[in-house]
Structure 1
Amino acid sequence: MTAKKRITAMVMTALCLGMLAACEKNEAPGSQPPANTATNAVTEIPMETETGAETNEPAASEKPVEAFTVLAQELRVPWVITFDKDVVYISEREGNIVKVDGSNMTRQSVHLKKSVHGNGEGGFLGFLLAPDFVDTKNAYAYHTYEENGRILNRVVLLKQNGEQWDEVQALLEGIPGAANHDGGRMAIGPGNLLYVTTGDAQQRELAQDLNSLAGKILRMTLDGKIPADNPFPDSYVYSYGHRNPQGLSWNAEGVMFNTEHGPSGDPGGHDEINIIEAGANYGWPDIYGDAKKEGMVTPIYHTGEKAIAPSGATIDGNNRLLIATLLGSALYRYDPATNQMFVVFEGEGRLRDVKIKDGRIYIITNNTDGRGIPSKTDDRLLLLNDVN
């Protein structure tokens, strides 16, 4: 039985419902609560089908988050959180890395061989410390650049040298980019392999083109080579048919989940949770929501017409998915075993990433990206003090 079938079997009695919808592109400035609206309450997500048919009974309320600790503030459009023991590193879209060590915050410069292009949703996005960072000081980054009039993305190896980071080598270049839909999530998965998400670069047909790196989840070795067991010969492509995949995480059984933005316009919404399998086609732009087509995978969960705009995601100790959302301005928890979703934290505006370390949940706000309503101290790194 495949990983998808194992998970799907647990939710056969649940309807395929709404979860995370719509591309950031559709978000109007001011469409979320102000950053300092401190409700911090649990909210039940309405279980709404695409057609408006009968819905599931709402799940029981969970214990609310009562407090958080601000670990850093005045971040500049932060994008991802990563850890070296108790030290936190955060990428900023303009091209810096912020080091947070206890009460000390240092903004470190990044020296790249091709300049960061920060228009729209692009910029300095994914950032990930190498597994042997303690010894090598190496890290991986994904950033947008411009070359010969084209917007592109690249994966590079960096090295920390004192209070700066220098590019060592490019591992992969020429990934199609655009003002929107640049992907950018990076994660090291089973087998110590590097996974990278790419958007469709606003050229939806590229998601179905196996000769293009756009609209894909890519897989490579840590030195940038194509793994011998990748599903397509001599190709970095691990899965395809993606619009703008934003979250990657694995549960305790090694099952890989992703969160992804659905279509803009009418209909909008239909953001997705998928179980990712090698060589699978996730349907964009041919199908979305509950639609089915031979050879394409329907998501295990989608939002219907509700827009939340998912970003970073992680798995908690109970194999539930935590999802930071932009338009949704909340941290959501999705349980594959029950097909239920809750808001477990809200009131601080747009959220870009979520990570768990030593059982504690860290999030970064994203109110300074031009689509939020920033407070004087935004953006911030927050430690949630009580989420069960």
Structure 2
Amino acid sequence: MNLSWNRKAAALLLVLPIAACSGQAGSPPGLLPADEKPAQAPDVAAEASPETDKTPAAPAQPSGGEDTSDAAAGGAFAELTGETQVLADNLDTPWEIQFDGDTVYLTLRGGSIVKLADGRQTLQPVALNPGVLEAGEGGLLGLALAPDFADSRAAYVYHTYGKGNEMRNRVIRIEEEPSGKSWTETATVLDDIPGARVHDGGRIAFGPDGMLYVTTGDAQDDGSAQDTGSVAGKILRMTPEGEVPSDNPIEGSYVYSYGHRNSQGIDWLENGTMYASEHGPSGSSGGHDEMNEIKPGANYGWPDVLGGETGDGLTPPLYHTGEDALAPSGIAATPDGTLLVANLRGESLTEFDPATGEMREVWSGGGRIRDAAVHEGRIYILTNNTDGRGSPQSGDDKLLILQ
């Protein structure tokens, strides 16, 4: 693989425009202290303990069964040292990373956005009606900056709310206030998406076609994933205004693909091919987490098939974990044509190669990882140890740059 972009990453780290941030003395782990705090010296992420319900995972395998455990050399990350630089810490259950040039935005599940700009870490409240419900896996989740964000200051978020005694999700448009200190809701894009304490979906992103893509979980109603009349257990495609595109695979429907259990990561390679990560059942039936190439109108089989099983009209995964569990969340395309995968239960960053179907670990030591990103040659990861399932260390959670 071509390593040139990673060499650039090493050089760029020497002139990083956003200084590393560190929590103020006496701040409890998992809380963002004050409205703003100045940047401080770089730190190295503390090594997190395994989560209590985590069992050691065997080396990941492609669906064909080929063992890739000895694939430690080569690939896009051959030059990583294993060290990290901390850009932000004391983050309370963060979920998404987004960039506007040198400025970084992070969602917190409790209902706020953290802005990292000019060496400062600012907590921005988000005024929503109905407000954010942080319960189970729900809360303020996916964030996608509008393509014209530099002018409009508009973004899109996916958030959970309460409707009677039920959980629901919606996709809305928000705008950053001129002061840069808060956000205000301006429009509802899609409402009444089924929600639940688990299998809540939540990733949103603009595709190369300018359309907005949204992942939804089956909301603990696995049959809904096969029901094309429901928006649960799907990847949805819509215009920025919330209209159904005329070229969607099912006429008049937001549904772009279906048969998904709980997808929390989507991205596109430079050739325009779309990929998604997928949580499999991590209980008695094993892990069976997946990496899928997403095609319009395709059915990915849940709950009728599991892992490498297939059937008439079903699209099998490019890769699945077998009986082991990684719990993959956010993914990020690299210039080498591979995908970074942030793993929660697996507590690692892995690299998936669609061309070979191989998955290999490239970094670990920070505990659970919720999101990953590649921006201007640098590799960013967002830890997720403060969500009640991890083992928080001092300063968790953190936004890190790998070196």
TM-score normalised by the chain length of structure 1: 0.86
Which residue of 266, 275, 283 corresponds with 1:257?
275
Q: RCO greater where, 1 or 2, for CA within 8 Å and sep 6 or more?
A: 1
Deviations 1:45-67 (A, max 9, x none): 7255789x774683253434332
Deviations 1:159-214 (A, max 9, x none): 11121100001110010001111100011102100000000000000000111110
Paired residue for 1:46? 59
2:184 is the counterpart of 1:166: yes
Paired residue for 2:369? 351
Deviations 1:52-102 (A, max 9, x none): x77468325343433211011101100000011100000000000000114
Which residue of 226, 229, 236 corresponds with 1:211?
229
Partners of 1:144 and 1:151 within 8 A in 2: yes
Aligned-pair distance for 1:148? 2.4
Deviations 1:363-383 (A, max 9, x none): 111111111111120111111
Paired residue for 2:35? none
Write the letter of the residue equivalent to 1:313: I
Paired residue for 1:137? 153
Partners of 1:45 and 1:341 within 8 A in 2: no
Partners of 1:65 and 1:344 within 8 A in 2: no
Matches within 5 A, 1:358-369: 358-369=376-387
Deviations 1:296-347 (A, max 9, x none): 1110110001111001001101000100111111100011222222211110
Which residue of 292, 299, 315 corresponds with 1:281?
299
Paired with 1:305 and 1:253, the residues of 2 have a C-alpha distance of 32
Paired residue for 1:37? 47
Paired with 1:157 and 1:242, the residues of 2 have a C-alpha distance of 25
Q: Report the secondary structure of 1:192's partner residue.
A: coil
Matches within 5 A, 1:179-328: 179-328=197-346
Paired with 2:62 and 2:290, the residues of 1 have a C-alpha distance of 13
Q: Report the secondary structure of 1:152's partner residue.
A: strand
Q: Report the secondary structure of 1:125's partner residue.
A: strand
Paired with 1:265 and 1:210, the residues of 2 have a C-alpha distance of 27
Paired with 2:240 and 2:358, the residues of 1 have a C-alpha distance of 36
Partners of 2:48 and 2:392 within 8 A in 1: no
Paired with 1:312 and 1:383, the residues of 2 have a C-alpha distance of 16
Paired residue for 1:87? 103
Partners of 2:46 and 2:394 within 8 A in 1: no
Partners of 2:63 and 2:317 within 8 A in 1: no
Paired residue for 1:75? 91
Q: Report the secondary structure of 1:207's partner residue.
A: helix
Paired with 2:61 and 2:87, the residues of 1 have a C-alpha distance of 36
Q: How has the CA–CA distance of structure 1 residues 68 and 369 changed in structure 2, closer, same or farther, with 3 Å as cutoff?
A: same
Write the letter of the residue equivalent to 2:164: N
Unaligned runs of 5+ in 2: 1-44, 50-56
Partners of 1:245 and 1:259 within 8 A in 2: yes
Q: Report the secondary structure of 2:218's partner residue.
A: coil
Q: Report the secondary structure of 2:209's partner residue.
A: helix
Partners of 2:61 and 2:319 within 8 A in 1: no
The alignment yields a C-alpha RMSD, in angstroms, of: 1.9
Q: How has the CA–CA distance of structure 1 residues 48 and 141 changed in structure 2, closer, same or farther, with 3 Å as cutoff?
A: closer
Matches within 5 A, 1:123-134: 123-134=139-150
Q: Report the secondary structure of 1:305's partner residue.
A: coil
Write the letter of the residue equivalent to 2:47: T
Aligned-pair distance for 1:253? 1.1
Partners of 2:62 and 2:358 within 8 A in 1: no
Q: Report the secondary structure of 2:132's partner residue.
A: coil
Partners of 1:200 and 1:244 within 8 A in 2: yes
Paired with 2:258 and 2:324, the residues of 1 have a C-alpha distance of 24
Paired with 1:47 and 1:224, the residues of 2 have a C-alpha distance of 38
Paired with 2:319 and 2:125, the residues of 1 have a C-alpha distance of 40
TM-score normalised by the chain length of structure 2: 0.82
Identical amino acids, percent of aligned pairs: 51
Paired residue for 2:73? 61
Deviations 1:337-364 (A, max 9, x none): 2222221111011111011111111111
Deviations 1:122-158 (A, max 9, x none): 0000111111011111000000011122210000000
Q: Report the secondary structure of 1:354's partner residue.
A: strand
Q: How has the CA–CA distance of structure 1 residues 275 and 104 changed in structure 2, closer, same or farther, with 3 Å as cutoff?
A: same
Write the letter of the residue equivalent to 2:330: G
Q: How has the CA–CA distance of structure 1 residues 136 and 149 changed in structure 2, closer, same or farther, with 3 Å as cutoff?
A: same
Paired with 1:316 and 1:377, the residues of 2 have a C-alpha distance of 28
Which residue of 347, 352, 356 corresponds with 1:334?
352
2:131 is the counterpart of 1:103: no
* Large movers: runs of 4+ above 4 Å: 47-51, 53-57
Partners of 1:47 and 1:56 within 8 A in 2: yes
Q: How has the CA–CA distance of structure 1 residues 333 and 203 changed in structure 2, closer, same or farther, with 3 Å as cutoff?
A: same
Q: Report the secondary structure of 1:257's partner residue.
A: strand
| Residues paired across the two proteins, number | 346
Q: How has the CA–CA distance of structure 1 residues 209 and 251 changed in structure 2, closer, same or farther, with 3 Å as cutoff?
A: same
Aligned-pair distance for 1:108? 0.4
